[in-house]
Amino acid sequence: MCGAKAGGPDASTIKPGETTIQGQVTRDGEPVVGYVRLLDSTGEFTAEVPTSATGQFRFYAAEGTWTVRALVPGGTADRTVVAQQGGLAEVAITV
């Protein structure tokens, strides 16, 4: 477990030095409201956040390989992301 913390999508809230995974969930080019889960490299649930009205989400996590899973009305989608220590990993999820 990474002790991931959830945060809002506002760029001004990114914490310098924190490993950040953030992105947007869309369908047909439009933002989708729902939930996004963060799963560790073994598939274990770590954290969940709601998307914003614009489909955006953010997690603060440890470096490593993660699965980001969008859970929205009418669909789900997974993306694998590799987060670097102190870096920003951007994830686009289309459902």
In this predicted model, what pLDDT tens digit does every residue of 29-46 receive, in sequence order? 999 999 999 999 999 999
Domain boundaries, given as residue ranges, for the chain? 17-94
Q: Classify residue 87 by its DSSP letter.
A: -
In this predicted model, what pLDDT tens digit does every residue of 48-64 receive, in sequence order? 999 999 999 999 999 99
- Determine which of 7-11, 52-56, 76-80, 84-88 has the lowest per-residue pLDDT on average: 7-11
Instruction: Give every CB contact of residue 87 below 8 A, 6+ residues apart in sequence.
Output: 19, 20, 63
Q: Which of 59, 42, 61, 43 is nearest to 93 (CA)?
A: 59
User: Candidates 2.60.40.10, 3.30.360.10, 3.40.30.10, 3.40.50.300; correct CATH number of 17-94?
Assistant: 2.60.40.10
Q: How does residue 10 score in pLDDT terms, banded at 50, 70 and 90?
A: low
Question: Under a CB-based contact definition with an 8 Å cutoff, are residues 46 and 16 in contact?
Answer: no
- Side-chain half-sphere of 79: how many Cα atoms within 13 Å? 19
